[in-house]
Structure 1
Amino acid sequence: MSDARAAREPGKRRLILWRHGQTVWNLEQRYQGQTDVPLDETGHEQARRAASLLAGLHPTAILASPLRRAADTAQALADLTGLPVGYDRDLIERGGGAWEGLTGREIRERYPAERAAWQPPGGETSAQVAKRVGAALDRALDDLPPTGQLVVASHGAALRLGISHLLRLPEETWERLGGLSNCSWSVLTEMRDGGWRLTEHNAGTLPEPVLSDDRPDTGP
């Protein structure tokens, strides 16, 4: 732990974890993973709308996955706030291996056992993603001042697992945290002991099915 981090007054910082806007592959229910799929027209509109709301939180820094769907989502907020966007490749989505580009139906039919375990052949494990994304968030938070407000634009599975890391949840409980809809966000606030509390989750949307690469909440 750095001296600056040890000396920081706890309980003041806020972290807003923001999923990217809609893509054509989201609509087609294709597993995107680390494939660099851009936002569609609706996704750009979602990003602009969400950015207008998030700007009201007065962010002090913006960080993003370099995949275009996340980077362009972050840019919508940068355009409003004038803040630069930083990038960290450790914030990219879970590697989907053989599943990337396949629809949910194709995954069910071709990989029934792997889907039941939600482990894409040749892809990353949940633990690997939590460690990778968690490390990126930890680095960013080390540089965040005592009253900083950091917005991170990333991906559904990456963010859910990153939240699990920050909350220090045991792996067997990670599935209890629901997914994020396109262009929705979660808010974590710093506690006085230096830990983090989830104060909002999947904000900015009405309750509806989440179209994501993340593990389905229900269904076969």
Structure 2
Amino acid sequence: MTDRVPGRRRVVLWRHGQTAWNVERRFQGKTDIPLDDTGVQQAHSSARLLAGLRPTALLASPLQRAADTAQALAKVTGLPVRHDKDLIERDGGAWEGLTNREIRDRYPAEYAQWQPPGGETSAQVAKRVGAALERALDDLPPDGLLVVASHGAALRLGMSHLLGLPEEVWERLGGLSNCCWSVLGEMRDGGWRLVEHNAGTLPEPVLSDDRTENGT
């Protein structure tokens, strides 16, 4: 909890558009993979919808798949995009670049715990991303709406941090599909309420670095 003046702030947590590695079911992590043609189209389509919410600030991970997604909304709204390195995706360690099947076959024990060797823990990601979100929200006026373009696991875990959820229930929040978003609204006590989750134009499969993509 911070000392900011309570208001009606909202934050939209927006996952980046599709990449070739999403389609191939490769763990991307902090590897800087660009949007594919479908991802570019998704970003522009979603941006037109999100512009209707009248955002007042844009923030993004500096990885190009998220930064380019945010830029699509910047073009529609005229708002500048700020970047925060603490919004990058979970460090996947030895898993980065591997397909889901390769991870399962080569690292069965780690796969069962969804803990990449040499990578970050879920708790580390939640703390890192949650702190980045808190910093941005401290700068938001009481009636402001912040859109954050980031990554599937990073956003789900950062969202869990903001909501104050204990780690044992984090997996109960499903993953975000490409270019879908969740909305959190500020409560009277300065805490946060989940208003929408995995919203978008049409339901799409979740192709992510997040454990919840497989329903496990």
What interval of TM-score do these two structures reach, taking the shorter chain for normalisation? Answer: over 0.9
**In the alignment, does 2:112 pair up with 1:111?**
no
Change (3 A) 1:32 1:2: closer
User: Tell me, which stretches of 5 or more residues in structure 2 are unaligned?
Assistant: none
Is 1:17 aligned to 2:13, yes or no?
yes
Contact 1:11 1:189 in 2 (8 A): no
Equivalent residue number for residue 127 of structure 2 = 131
- Distance (whole Å) between structure 2 residues aligned to residue 216 and residue 191 of structure 1: 27
Deviations 1:61-117 (A, max 9, x none): 000000000000000000000000000000000000000000001001000110000
- Residue 195 of structure 2: which of 199, 205, 215 is its match? 199
- The SS at the match of 1:35 is coil
Moved more, 55-64 or 202-211: 202-211
Which amino acid is the alignment partner of residue 156 of structure 1? Answer: G
Residue of structure 1 equivalent to 2:32: 36
When normalised by structure 2's length, the TM-score is 0.97
| Equivalent in the alignment of 2:89 | 93
CA 1:110–1:169 in structure 2 vs 1: closer, same or farther (change >3 Å)? same
1:61 aligns with 2:67: no
Task: Give the C-alpha shift of residue 217 in structure 1.
Answer: 4.7
How far 1:11 sits from its partner (Å)? Answer: 4.0
Question: How big is the alpha-carbon RMSD for the aligned residues of Structure 1 and Structure 2?
Answer: 1.3
Deviations 1:117-166 (A, max 9, x none): 00000000000000000000000000000100000000000000011000
Aligned residues: 216
Offset of residue 2 of structure 1: 7.1
Distance 1:60 1:99 in 2: 37
Aligned letter for 2:64?
R
Listed one character per residue, the Cα deviations across residues 16-74 of structure 1 (whole Å, up to 9, x for unaligned) are 00000000000000000000000001000000000000000000000000000000000
Q: Is the 8 A contact 1:30 1:102 kept in 2?
A: yes
Contact 2:207/2:213 (<8 A) preserved: no
Q: Deviations over 1:185-218 (max 9, x none)?
A: 0000000111000000000053443100000354
1:123-202 matches, within 5 Å, as 123-202=119-198
For 2:123 and 2:215, the matched residues in 1 are separated by 23
Unaligned runs of 5+ in 1: none
Which letter maps to 2:117?
Answer: P
Task: Write the distance in 2 (CA, Å) between the matches of 1:185 and 1:218.
Answer: 19
Structure 1 runs of 4+ off > 2 angstroms?
Answer: 205-209, 216-220
Sequence identity percentage? 80
The one-letter code matched in structure 2 to 1:118 is W
Shift of 1:219: 5.9
Question: For the residues of structure 2 that align with 1:219 and 1:20, how far apart are their CA atoms?
Answer: 21
Q: Tell me, what secondary structure is at the counterpart of 1:216?
A: helix
Using the alignment, how far apart are the partners of 1:161 and 1:219 within structure 2? 16
From the superposition, tell whether residues 2 and 109 of structure 1 become closer, same or farther in structure 2 (CA, over 3 Å): closer
CA distance in structure 1 between the aligned counterparts of 2:208 and 2:99, rounded to whole angstroms: 11
Change (3 A) 1:219 1:149: closer
